[in-house]
């Protein structure tokens, strides 16, 4: 008779307790399991106590020093794959505990009032221990079907063959370890050359992906995972772009990013001029791709202040068009404020008075859209311009 239906008839909380008991080989009989009466009558009293809790005989029957054998026993008893993985991973994690605690103890006894810099040698040793633990779990259980790179790639690219998914996952795993090694060696402060090394790793991984995938598959991968795509998704969060628009913008932006990668030191004047010229051309190309009306939406959506306002409007559960209304107020008031600042016919006092009146008008109009509470939040999320309308008084000597 299988033991699993008897000892896991309880809730998720009981499952969590079971993981701990199995992982540590506990013989504690105090944790109750709500086993139905019918099941209680059928259970083996030598393995299950009268109060419905698994006894030490149960753990002894399922536990084995060979973790692969124990995993097979758990599967044979009907344990779900996720629970088998949790139990075996807990045992492996515990097997590394002594070495991990010894390394951490070296850094534990430090003055609490000081910001202690991590010891590079200790951090490297902890990183090696982490890699060894991950390898041990993979050796016994194989790749994580829910959280590993194989599972992640399957979710992102369900049409790719299993062979290609396995190849990509192996590449990712290898480069993930290299990134962890580099990051550990850099410590808390990264130098320009450190970031250059990390970017070189990213490029090398991408090159291996390109050798594995077809051009179309690589494009689909880049559209979902590349740094350019992630940045573009964030910048377009207030635009509600269509797939066609996203693909068009990605093609333009990725070409620009490839031509002008991140600078690791201050750019020269020539580099800055070339980048500025390319940036203007990029905006012209985006206008041509989207059309004038949609480009105006794009400009507004990619404005940092508008994006903050849009997020605030969503948090306040107001209609999305409220953000556009507030942005229109901002554009109107700031244009008028700019004209006042440029008007040399005004005295300083008159200019200050009129700018103060504009600030009052701005507060009134924005409050009408967001409400009083919303306006107070808006001053911190996109509305700093209202406070900046009124000139600050000169500092007194």
What integer pLDDT is reported at residue 263 of this predicted model?
Answer: 65
pLDDT at 213: 96
CB atoms within 10 A of CB 95: 12
Whose tokens are 């000597």? That residue is 397
- pLDDT value for 395: 61
- Whether 364 is covered by a domain: the verdict is yes
User: CA–CA separation, 5 vs 310, rounded Å?
Assistant: 51
pTM as predicted = 0.69
274 and 317 co-located in one domain: no
Establish if 195 belongs to a structural domain.
Answer: yes
Is there a domain that residue 134 lies in?
no
The CA distance from 139 to 150, in Å, is 15
To 10 degrees, what angle do helices 120-141 and 67-76 make? 50
Residues of the chain with pLDDT under 70: 1-56, 106-109, 263-265, 393-397
Please say which residue of 285, 302, 319 terminates a domain.
Answer: 302
Query: Are residues 287 and 314 part of one domain?
Result: no
164 and 150 Cβ atoms separated by less than 8 Å = no
293 & 311 share domain? no
Tell me the C-alpha distance between 1 and 5, whole Å.
9
pLDDT value for 160: 93
**Angstrom distance (rounded) from CA 93 to CA 208:** 32
Asked if residue 11 lies in contact with residue 34, where contact means CB atoms within 8 angstroms, the answer is yes
Q: Are residues 256 and 316 in the same domain?
A: no
Q: Is residue 392 part of a domain?
A: no
Whether residue 40 is contained in a domain is answered as: yes
Per the structure, the complete domain to which residue 250 belongs is given by 234-302
What pLDDT, on a 0 to 100 scale, did the predictor assign at position 62? Answer: 82
| Residue that terminates a domain, selected from 193, 225, 257 | 225
> Cα torsion at 142, 148, 150, 155 (round to 10°)?
140
Backbone angles phi, psi at 93, to 5 degrees: -60, -40
Same structural domain for residues 270 and 197?
Answer: no
Q: Quick one: pLDDT at residue 367?
A: 96
* Tokens describing residue 266: 């201050």
The encoded tokens of residue 61 equal 């029957």
Q: Based on the domain organization, do 315 and 359 belong to the same domain?
A: yes
- Residue 48 burial (10 A CB sphere; 0-12, 13-18, 19+): buried
**91 & 7 share domain:** yes
288 and 325 in a single domain? The answer is: no
Show which of 168, 192, 225 is a domain's final residue: 225
Place of tokens 């995993």: 71
The reply to whether 109 falls in a domain is no
Question: Is the residue at 382 inside a domain?
Answer: yes
Number of domains forming the structure of the chain: 4
Do 89 and 170 share a domain, yes or no?
no
21 and 47 both lie in a single domain:
yes
Q: Is residue 394 part of a domain?
A: no
Query: Rounded to whole angstroms, how far apart are CA atoms 3 and 62?
Result: 9
Q: Are residues 349 and 295 in the same domain?
A: no
One domain, residues 309 and 285? no
């Amino acid at each position: 008779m299988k033991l699993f239906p008897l000892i896991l008839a309880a809730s998720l909380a009981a499952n969590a307790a079971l993981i701990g008991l199995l992982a540590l080989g506990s013989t504690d009989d105090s944790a109750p399991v709500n086993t139905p009466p019918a099941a209680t009558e059928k259970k083996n009293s030598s393995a299950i106590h009268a109060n419905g809790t698994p006894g030490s005989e149960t753990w002894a029957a399922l536990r084995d020093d060979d973790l692969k054998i124990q995993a097979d026993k758990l599967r044979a008893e009907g344990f779900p794959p996720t629970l088998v993985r949790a139990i075996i991973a807990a045992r492996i994690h515990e097997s590394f505990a002594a070495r991990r605690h010894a390394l951490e103890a070296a850094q534990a006894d430090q003055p609490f009032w000081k910001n202690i810099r991590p010891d590079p040698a200790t951090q490297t040793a902890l990183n090696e221990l982490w890699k060894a633990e991950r390898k041990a779990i993979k050796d016994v259980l194989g790749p994580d079907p829910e959280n590993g790179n194989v599972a992640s790639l399957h979710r992102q690219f369900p049409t790719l063959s299993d062979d290609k998914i396995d190849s990509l996952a192996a590449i990712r795993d290898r480069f993930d370890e290299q990134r962890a090694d580099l990051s550990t060696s850099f410590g808390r402060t990264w130098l320009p050359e450190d970031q250059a090394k990390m970017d070189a790793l990213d490029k090398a991984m991408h090159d291996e992906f390109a050798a594995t995938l077809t051009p179309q598959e690589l494009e689909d991968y880049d559209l979902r995972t590349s740094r350019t795509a992630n940045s573009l998704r964030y910048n377009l969060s207030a635009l509600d772009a269509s797939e066609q628009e996203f693909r068009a913008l990605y093609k333009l932006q990725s070409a620009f990013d490839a031509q002008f990668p991140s600078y690791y030191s201050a750019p020269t004047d020539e580099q800055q001029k070339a980048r500025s010229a390319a940036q203007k051309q990029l905006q012209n190309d985006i206008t041509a791709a989207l059309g004038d009306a949609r480009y105006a939406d794009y400009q507004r959506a990619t404005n940092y202040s508008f994006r903050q306002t849009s997020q605030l409007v969503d948090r306040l559960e107001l209609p999305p068009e409220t953000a556009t209304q507030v942005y229109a107020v901002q554009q109107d008031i700031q244009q008028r404020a700019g004209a006042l600042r440029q008007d040399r016919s005004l005295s300083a006092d008159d200019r200050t008075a009129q700018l103060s009146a504009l600030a009052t008008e701005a507060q009134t109009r924005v409050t009408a859209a967001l409400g009083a509470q919303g306006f107070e939040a808006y001053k911190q999320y996109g509305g700093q311009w209202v406070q900046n309308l009124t000139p600050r008084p000169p500092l007194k000597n």
